[in-house]
Amino acid sequence: MSVIKIVRISLMNLHEYQSRNLLKDYSIVFPMGDIGESPEEIYNISKSYDGRVVVKAQIHSGGRGKAGGVKLCNSPEEAKEFAKGILGKNIITSQTDSDGVIVEKLLVTELTDIDREFYLSITIDPDFEGPVLIISSEGGMDIEKVAEETPEKIIKLPFDPIIGAKPYELRKIIRSLDLPKEANNEFIKMINNLYLAFLATDSTLIEINPLVLDKKNNLIPLDCKINIDDDSFFRQKSIFELRDKNQENPIETRAKDFDLAYVKLDQGNVGCLVNGAGLAMATMDVTTKSGCFPANFLDVGGSTDKEKIKEAFRILVSDKNVEFLLINLFAGIARADLIAEGVVEAAKETSFDLPIIVSMRGTNSERGFSILKNSDLDIHIAENLGNAAEVLSVLNKRK
Ligand code: GDP
Ligand code: MN
């Protein structure tokens, strides 16, 4: 059984500065700030804010604070020095892969004096099958630790699909945060505004962490992260124009352009070509059971064709860690013979000569198998997925 929970992976991420701009339309007010792309610009912006500023790397990742991507500065000179050291470099955070992501822009904001830090987000929760509000009194950089060690400090409230957050429930939660009186209403207003933004922008996540209380009891959002549902492209064109491909893994971008779902994994030597998320999970389990580990998986979707398979193949084998290719397909609408032709053509084109283990069922599978067997490829036909694991295990021991 797979224990991996499938949560839809959103590829449309926004930068913090873009998220701030978007939320302006929903009356969410952030500290004043500007974007700069050179040390000189950062110097000038910092100067316009009297030098006491926060400079933040704009990357598609959280955890910047811990990775050295956020700097509290006391002078424009200090901000400039920080910019010099970080612009054009890659930052590796707990949320990026080992290559990290490039810093091309910095956001400079006024510095806020923090009294308390809260966590606030709205996301789609698979358990509630809808948007939920998540709040914690322990916001800031250690929220993952809070979730793990003291989950009772994280409060979840599902939104009612018709009326949104129920006011009495909201008030109850807010009261439990023990805020100064004047901040309570602000907090509730902010949640309602965020929910409007969440719906209107087809977000899958809007996260404000930290949302702080300053020394004067003002409630101020200091950071913001928004992910948009990829399927909303047709009606969120202006948001999708904000896409920053330089922040994406180039192979994932290529896959996306072909409407393929590619996920690179950190270890492993088996490239997995599958169709459908369930089959992908099962394939990963079987691969692990064989003693190997998936290097990646690529889901070509339900109705696939030859060109898509060819691109999928090219993408998978461009991963240097791949020593075996495991193809596990259920040909329903798609035809197994066309898939096989795609595999053979792409393998030839990429001079791929490593073992390919194939488990394939459905429409024209016999014809598909014969195309594969008659090719020059190192094909190992598996009768079923269990058998594929055995074949993989034998091959892996032999290598
Ligand atoms: P993240 O680490 O990527 O989530 O980046 P954040 O923008 O959340 O910044 C990281 C941390 O820097 C926050 O949790 C705050 O503790 C701190 N920080 C950010 N802005 C300010 C600010 O204006 N004043 C102070 N005192 N701390 C800040
Ligand atoms: Mn943050």
Domain range summary for the chain, segments of one domain joined by +: 1-30+113-248, 32-111, 250-398
Q: What is the pLDDT of residue 335?
A: 87
pLDDT at 162: 87
CATH topology of domain 32-111: Dna Ligase; domain 1 (3.30.1490)
The ligand 1 atom nearest the CA atom of 64? 3
Coil, strand or helix at 91: strand
Residue 38 CA to ligand 1 center (angstroms) comes to 21
Whole-model pTM?
0.83
pLDDT for residue 250: 84
Query: Does the structure show a pLDDT above 50 at 5?
Result: no
pLDDT band at 8 (very low <50, low <70, confident <90, very high): very low
394: closest CA among 324, 329, 347, 327?
324
The residues facing 272 across adjacent strands are 297, 326
Paired tokens of 41: 């610009």
**Average pLDDT of the segment spanning 240-258:** 89
Which one-letter amino acid corresponds to residue 391? V
What are the beta bridge partners of residue 271? 296, 325
Q: Is the CB of 15 under 6 A from ligand 1?
A: no
pLDDT tens digits along 24-56? 999 999 999 999 999 999 999 999 998 899 999
Q: Quick check: CB of 68 below 6 Å from ligand 1?
A: no
Q: Which residues are catalytic?
A: 119, 207
* Atom of ligand 1 minimally distant from the CA of 62: 3
Measured by CA distance, the residue closest to atom 14 of ligand 1 is 140
* Class (C level, CATH) for 1-30+113-248: alpha beta
pLDDT value for 256: 83
Ligand 1 mean position to 106 CA, how many Å?
A: 14
Ligand 1 center from residue 104 Cα (angstroms): 19
Q: Is 163 exposed, middle or buried (0-12, 13-18, 19+ CB in 10 A)?
A: exposed
pLDDT band at 301 (very low <50, low <70, confident <90, very high): confident
Same fold, 1-30+113-248 and 250-398: no
**What's the pLDDT at 19?**
98
The one-character DSSP state at 227 is E
Minimal-distance CA residue to ligand 1 atom 13: 140
**Ligand 1, atom nearest to 141 Cα:** 14
The CATH number of the domain covering residues in 250-398: 3.40.50.261
Whose tokens are 């009297």? That residue is 50
Q: 139 in ligand 1 pocket by Cβ < 6 Å?
A: no
Task: Tell me which residue has tokens 């990290």.
Answer: 100
Query: Would you call 58 helix, strand, or coil by DSSP?
Result: coil
Select from 55, 114, 208 the residue to mutate for testing ligand 1; criterion: most ligand atoms less than 8 Å from CB: 114
Bridging pattern class, strands 101-102 and 90-91: antiparallel
Q: Which distant-in-sequence residues (6+ apart) come within 8 Å of 136 by Cβ?
A: 118, 119, 143, 146, 153, 154, 155
Which segments of 66-178 are extended strands (E)? 70-73, 90-91, 101-102, 106-110, 114-125, 130-136, 154-158
Q: How confident is the model at residue 10 (pLDDT cuts 50, 70, 90)?
A: low
Q: What is the pLDDT of residues 210-238, one digit of tens each?
A: 999 999 999 999 999 999 998 999 999 99
114 Cβ inside 6 Å of ligand 1: yes
- Among all bound ligands, the one having the nearest atom to the CA of 94 is 1
Residue nearest to ligand 1 atom 6, measured at CA? 223
Q: Indicate the residue type of 199.
A: L
Taking a 5 Å cut-off on Cβ, the residues next to ion ligand 2 are 209, 223
Confirm or reject: Cβ of 222 under 6 Å from ligand 1.
Answer: yes
- Residue having the nearest C-alpha atom to atom 24 of ligand 1: 112
Instruction: Report how far residue 39's alpha carbon sits from residue 86's, in angstroms, rounded to the nearest whole number.
Output: 10
- 20 within ligand 1 shell (Cβ under 6 A): no
Give CB contacts under 8 A, 24+ apart, made by 102-105: 102/59, 102/246, 102/247, 103/57, 103/58, 103/59, 103/69, 104/37, 104/58, 104/246, 105/15, 105/17, 105/35, 105/36, 105/37, 105/58
Q: How close is the Cα of 399 to the center of ligand 2, in Å?
A: 46
Q: Which tens digit of pLDDT belongs to each residue from 116-137?
A: 999 999 999 988 899 999 999 9
